[in-house]
Structure 1
Amino acid sequence: MKFALLLFDPENYWDSVSEEEMGAALAEHAAFAQYLQKQGIAFSGEALKPAKEARSLRPSDRGPVSADGPFVTLRQDLAGFYLIECADLDEAEEIARHCPLGAGIEIRPVWDAPS
């Protein structure tokens, strides 16, 4: 099964950190990637730009309408994600416990759409 580890940080967090703090955070993620590799866990992941740089499409009676910002107002930014493969939600949670925590991690199963 695939699981998305959705990583959240406090709103505007990365605008306020020093280069040293940024380097330390990147080192934590590098260590987590190394952990995944050593455990033989298939994964991918990316960092995301802040929500203030996002755009969303929202439904309207005229069709999709473009709007600046995230679809849902949050006090945290979705900062990045890892996509991992493992047996079940319990294993995904155990793996996520090794990931840098930030403001929190949501562990969400990926829907395997029928072909």
Structure 2
Amino acid sequence: EMISGGMECMIGVKRDPLFGPIVAVGLGGIFVEILGDVSLRQAPVDRKEALEMIRSLRGYPLLSGARGGVPVDVEALAEMVAKISLMACAEDTLAELDINPVFVLENGAVAVDAIAIRSEIA
């Protein structure tokens, strides 16, 4: 399926040995590498906390339709972040997860590429 339009975002998880899974959300594609505009929280996060993470991004105006742009479905992105954070808490062997890009559209969000790294439980 071809995806067009929307904004590229990213969702990530990294398991910290002390704090457990840490969830990240930010602008995706080249923006995450160039701008480093990412919000981090200890998992799990609910939809409301995920929405707060998204709204805290410096690039949030791009998601909300700045300068005549089309606003995208940040609620769908927040729901995806919340569900991934729950999965990270439930799955002990998930060391890292990088979903980039997530295309956030006018209605909905679609994960286009992802990589997961598993660890052995000692």
> Is TM > 0.5 for Structure 1 vs Structure 2?
no
Q: Whose RCO is larger (CA < 8 A, sep 6+)?
A: 1
Q: TM-score, normalised by structure 1?
A: 0.32
Max Rg structure: 1
Q: TM-score, normalised by structure 2?
A: 0.31
